[in-house]
Structure 1
């Protein structure tokens, strides 16, 4: 991510976009079982007080993964992978591909030296918001497919697949329904994108100033873990609201979802699925940034030859 002290990219936007989309898709394939577990935990409502039979179905990351695999089969852990890849191609390519140009725009063409952290955060907030506004339909379909658990015998599934989900939502709910949850989704992805890209950029820049460290896999590993940790800590509340709005049509608005979640489940509900979320985002960021750095090196060689 950090090309030099000025933040200038040494490969084309198309090359960065392609590298980002590829890296994001690979990370999605490797970590989507943890994302499915996270969505199920976030959508799970608290048991009614005094109802001793209403025990939580899903408990913890590994417990949720095991329950889904046992009841629905291993393939259920990859539910939503098709729209997930759609999402990463669009959102991953835009949010990372636009990061350097937007950052350079905010600091100005004559800027010299290390880019301030505030400018990095502002640039990542901007590209995250722009990217997810375009990619929201893919996120909606992904969550809807992941949210559907084991059904009783004879009960048909809501959607037969990703393409069927897109068309069914448009037919039954209108084109605008594809942007359901756009408010919390923009907030969530702008915030998480800022936490990921700005922290990765900052951590990497700091590590490279330590004697003995170079721009290698070890540096990328530590930077990716830092990016994942900050992203989960900052973005979990809006992530829960986003998942609940997309997975349950009972909420009228972002504020309504926030208030009902707070009232019915308490403030800790906004950190439901924190461990699988960190497991997901931590590993996702490590895989994505390691792959991205290598993909950019490959593209750099192609463009310079």
Structure 2
């Protein structure tokens, strides 16, 4: 991923396969934190009918514990099937396309360090393209994760991932699978730029420090840095995306969701679930990039 190019090459198919595998593995390890993040972002709706108005979920670990206690441990992995669907498509495409798009901007024969601007622009484009394809999987994942907030005795809308795809198309139309597309495009383009560009840049910077080499420690530090930048930059659009996908009926459009969230909950609402979001994205990026760097070795060859 870094611009200090090794003397090996990898095909797009190899990059896609290794990226999809790494993203799926990271998803499997960290989805309980993502479930906690979504519940915290949807907190206002869960507490709306309570007379006392005491928040049901408090903090990352508290939310994880509450979900496990009230709904069972497996509830923390709700949405894992569409989550894996998403990572196969989105994870494979956004990373698989990143190097070719970056090379398009600077030229395939470019050997110097690529500018941060080119990194960001390439990642913005690949993130937007990838999520435009994978939006239905993201929608179903959020819907399934939000199921647990329904009151006891209320029948669940979906029995599983495939049933959710079918039910949404039958009840809301095929286009409903792309509900929340624009905030999702904004969120994933921004987060992809923050993740890939910052990983590239942080790794490049670390490798310029005497004593550091292209090893697991470097990948771990660069992955954590990528996760931190991604959360700081992408949290507001992530909150809007979760609220639009969780229940789009109360919002006219993305801008309306943004305005209502700001008006009703204040500016700090856009950073609801910040710690679980960082816990999720920080650990997700560390696991994903560590796995990706190792997986890519199986697909590289000497030119």
Give the TM-score of the pair, scaled to structure 1: 0.95
Paired position in structure 1 for 2:198 = 199
Q: Counterpart of 1:101? A: 100
Following superposition, the deviation at residue 52 of structure 1 comes to 6.7
Corresponding position of 1:138? 137
Query: In structure 1, how many angstroms separate the alpha carbons of the residues matched to 2:156 and 2:51?
Result: 30
> C-alpha distance in 1, partners of 2:220/2:283?
10
Q: Check the 8 A contact 1:200/1:223 in 2, yes or no.
A: yes
- Contact 1:200 1:227 survives alignment (8 Å): yes
Whether 2:64 is the aligned partner of 1:65: answer yes
In structure 2, C-alpha distance between the alignment counterparts of 1:110 and 1:286, rounded to whole Å: 30
Name the CA distance, whole Å, in 2 between partners of 1:8 and 1:189. 31
Alpha-carbon shift at residue 150 of structure 1 (Å): 5.5
SS in 1 for 2:213: coil
Distance 2:51 2:105 in 1: 56
Residue of structure 1 in register with 2:127 after alignment: 128
Offset at residue 151 of structure 1 (A) = 4.6
2:231 aligns with 232
* Cα distance in structure 1, aligned partners of 2:90 and 2:302: 27
Equivalent runs, 1:30-179 vs 2, <5 Å: 30-45=29-44, 53-149=52-148, 151-152=150-151, 154-179=153-178
How many angstroms apart in 2 are the aligned matches of 1:292 and 1:174?
Answer: 37
What 5-or-longer segments of structure 1 have no aligned partner? none
The answer (yes or no) to whether the contact 2:3–2:113 under 8 Å persists in 1 is: no
Change (3 A) 1:108 1:57: same
Q: Is the 8 A contact 1:15 1:299 kept in 2?
A: yes
Q: 1:290 matched to which residue of 2?
A: 290
Residue number in structure 1 paired with 2:4? 4
CA 1:154–1:269 in structure 2 vs 1: closer, same or farther (change >3 Å)? closer
Structure 2: which 5+ residue stretches go unaligned?
A: none
Comparing 33-42 with 111-120, greater Cα deviation is found at 111-120
Cα 1:34/1:225, change in 2 over 3 Å: same
Q: CA deviation at 1:148?
A: 1.0
SS in 1 for 2:108: coil
Cα-Cα RMSD:
1.8
Give deviations 1:11-51, integer Å, cap 9, x for gaps: 00000000000000000000000000000000111867xx8
Secondary structure of the residue that 2:10 maps to in structure 1?
coil
Question: Aligned equivalents of 1:180 and 1:267: distance in 2?
Answer: 24
**Offset of residue 304 of structure 1:** 5.2
What is the Cα deviation at residue 10 of structure 1? 1.3
Q: What number of residue pairs does the alignment pair up?
A: 300
Query: How far did 1:202 drift?
Result: 0.4
Please say if residues 207 and 214 of structure 2, whose CA atoms lie closer than 8 Å, have aligned partners that are also in contact.
yes
Secondary structure at 1:45 match in 2 = helix
- Evaluate the alpha carbon distance shift between residue 150 and residue 268 of structure 1 in structure 2; reply closer, same or farther with a 3 A threshold: closer
Paired position in structure 1 for 2:267: 267
TM-score normalised according to structure 2 size: 0.95
When residues 132 and 194 of structure 1 are mapped into structure 2, their CA distance, relative to the original with a 3 A threshold, is: same
C-alpha contact 1:23 1:288 (8 A) present in aligned 2 = yes
Whole-angstrom distance in 2 between the partners of 1:113 and 1:91: 29
Query: Distance between the aligned counterparts of 2:266 and 2:239, measured in 1?
Result: 13
Query: 1:4 Cα shift?
Result: 2.9
CA contact (8 A) 1:9 1:100 kept: no
State the match for 1:222 in structure 2.
Answer: 221
Tell me how far apart the structure 2 counterparts of residues 9 and 261 of structure 1 sit (CA, whole Å): 49
**SS of the residue 1:115 aligns to:** coil
Question: Alpha-carbon deviation of 1:112?
Answer: 3.4
Superimposed CA distance per residue, residues 255-284 of structure 1 (whole angstroms, 9 cap, x where no aligned partner): 010010001000000000000000000000
* 1:69–1:238 CA distance, 2 compared to 1 (3 A): same
